[in-house]
Amino acid sequence: MSDILSYPFMQRALVAAVLVGVVCSVVGTYVVLRKMAFIGAGISHSAFGGVALGYLLGLDPIGVAIPFCLATAMAIGWVSRRGRVSEDTAIGIAFASTMALGALFIGLKEGYNVDLFGYLFGSILAVSASDLWLILGLGLGVVLVVALLFKELLFVSFDEEMAAVSGLPVRALYFLLLALMALTVVVSIKIVGIILVEALLVIPAAAAHQLTRSFGRMMGLSVVIGVVSGVAGLLFSYWWDLPSGATVVLTAAVIFSVCFALSPKRRRRPALSRG
Amino acid sequence: MTAKTSVVKLEGVWVTYHETLALRDVDMEIEDGEFLGLIGPNGSGKTTLIRVILGLVKPDRGRVEVFGVPPDRLGARHHLIGYVPQRSQGDWSFPVSVMDVVLMGRYGRLGLFRRPGKADREAAMRALEDVQMQDFARRQLAELSGGQQQRVLIARALATEPKLLLLDEPAAGVDAYGEEKFYELLQGLKEQQGLTIVVVTHDIAVVSAYVENLACLNQTLYTHAPPSEVITAGTLEKVYGCEVELLAHGRIPHRVVEEHDGHGGHNVPGGHG
């Protein structure tokens, strides 16, 4: 164990993995409860377009992915709130077209020698020192925003209409949540990869949801599961030389299966006898 | 009529949803302290009317005033309106405690970023006491029965300390006995706190025994009068037209009298005849 920690790349990867575990789990709690998993998939896949654009322009791929993911998230939100196109249709369009843009940008870049696989599925070697600062800054920013607006985000997640009646800015809060999801995706790309981020937005929170009926405990448990998955996944990745995204997500999936099997909830829902 | 101030005022309100007419030229005034039952067949626009008053739906034409201003201009006075949505809308497996839910009623007053404090917890507790759910404060919402969840939602609405309480089919999913108890609760709240209450319901028989006025809606407002007038004047037939299902339920009362027989029994006029 100690020899692993002596590698600077591994130290950076571990710090990043802990942070990714925390941020994904915190934001994922809202994603799961608001049933926004597919939006998460749409936003995360759009990161491919951003990363590829960064390569094409010779800029930092993650730096370009930030505005790209934010713009996609806002576009999905805007189109689905307008109500003319259903939300899942809007996501379906954004999902594929941003990936197609990514493929186009990669194709336009002559003689590319990109570590595409690393971006798609994560890599423990990928976190540079400057990446780490970016991840730390964005990740802590996301957690801070959630802490500040904890009660508002809880209310709109539970009952958006009621929150609107109470005078809360529900529209702004919805777009804020989409922005938080976009930033969470960007934070996670290096470790988990574009294709697999969405799983980490869902699995830890869903596993925690199996074990508790308290919102606070769900978020807390989710963070524990997210961090354990991140760190354990990273170690598996190191030992077996596998893409870190795969090992992190599979670790989380195994934890979910255990939580699901052990769930004390029988989900006894009161009969809704309505005429 | 003229001496009392009106809490809600609608003038010539028209609403269309996706090219379907929901409300046609509705004029309505709800007076301060009025206890009103809003009735009408399925799809008659009852919920839309409530949503218009709440500011959730903007009318295509017409004017809406709540406490003298359009509902979306209430600003910091949003808490004057308490709203209990239809039960079928809620996510009842959401991981929150009863206290969490009732405290949400305070959020509008608190404003952004601020956390609920002691005074908010006390207000939430009082609201729970009003609906006799104080012993359940620490329970999780998902563990409660339908009727209990309904009372929690009312407590949430009361925790805002509203002047106007709007309830959309609050008794749906509650049995007849629970329903009567429920209206007694509303009546008590009205008397103690001077609330203006609007209840949307299907159940004309039960509601008639408690409310002061009935408003009959079927796209447009047919009448707004005391139950005795509405029921005898043949208005119901006009409003419901050939709404056979409801008539066949045998729930249209000939005459509704509040009945108490000492040991808490109940008697729904009409029954299942």
Residue to test with chain B: of A82, A145, A151, most B Cβ within 10 A: A151
Burial of A130 (0-12, 13-18, 19+ CB in 10 A): exposed
Q: What is the pLDDT of residue B75?
A: 80
Tell me the sheet residues that pair with B196. B164
Our measurement of the distance from residue B208's CA atom to the centroid of its chain's CA atoms, rounded to an integer in Å, reads 14
B87 touches chain A (CB under 8 A): yes
Report CB contact under 8 Å: A167, B95.
no
Cβ pair B157, B84 in contact under 8 A: yes
Average pLDDT on A80-88 reads: 81
Element at B24 (helix H, strand E): strand B20-31
Interfacial A residues in 155-184 facing B (CB < 8 Å): 155, 157-159, 161-169
Q: How confident is the model at residue A255 (pLDDT cuts 50, 70, 90)?
A: very high
Q: Return mean pLDDT, chain A.
A: 90
From CA A64, how far away is CA A57, in angstroms rounded? 9
Written as tens digits, the pLDDT of chain B (273 aa) is 445 688 999 999 999 987 888 999 999 999 999 999 998 888 889 999 999 999 999 999 999 999 999 988 888 888 899 999 887 777 788 999 999 999 999 998 888 888 899 999 999 999 999 888 999 999 999 888 888 888 899 899 999 999 999 999 887 766 666 778 888 888 888 888 889 999 998 778 778 888 999 898 888 888 888 887 777 666 666 666 644 333 334 444 434 344 444 443 344 443 333
**Nearest residue, CB atoms, B94 vs list A158, A161, A212:** A158
User: Which residues of A are less than 8 Å from B93 in CB distance?
Assistant: 267, 269
Q: Residue A124 above 90 pLDDT?
A: no
Of A151, A157, A270, the CB nearest to B115: A151
Confidence grade of residue A1 (pLDDT, cut at 50, 70, 90) = low
Q: Rounded mean pLDDT of A2-27?
A: 91
Using the Cβ of B158 and the Cβ atoms of chain A, whether some distance falls under 8 Å is answered with no
CB contact under 8 A, B88 and A168: no
pLDDT, position B254:
39
Query: Residue A147 pLDDT > 70, yes or no?
Result: yes
Question: Cα A108 from chain centroid?
Answer: 28
Mean pLDDT within A213-223: 94
The residue type at B167: L
pTM (2 decimals)? 0.86
Tell me how far the alpha carbon of residue B136 is from its chain's centroid. 23
> Would you call A33 and B94 a contact, using CB atoms and an 8 Å cutoff?
yes
d(CA A246, CA A236): 10
Give the pLDDT of residue A86: 83
B104, A162: Cβ pair inside 8 Å? yes
ipTM for this prediction: 0.82
Q: Does A117 touch chain B (CB under 8 A)?
A: no
H or E element that contains B215:
strand B213-218
Q: Nearest by CB to B104, from A155, A214, A270: name it.
A: A155
Residues of chain B in contact with residue A33, where contact means CB-CB under 8 angstroms, are 91, 94-95
B252 Cβ under 8 Å from any chain A Cβ: no
The pLDDT assigned to B241 comes to: 60
> Which among B87, B140, B144 is the nearest to A214, CB-wise?
B140
A179 band by pLDDT with thresholds 50, 70 and 90:
very high
Residues from chain A that touch B81, judged by Cβ atoms under 8 A, are 165
- A-chain CB neighbours of B78 within 8 Å are 165-167
**Rg of chain B over all Cα atoms, to the nearest angstrom:** 19
Q: How many CA atoms lie within 13 A of A79 on its CB side?
A: 16
Contact present, A99 and A49 (Cβ < 8 Å): yes
Paired with B225 in beta bridges are B214
A267: left (phi over 0), alpha (psi -120 to 50) or beta: left
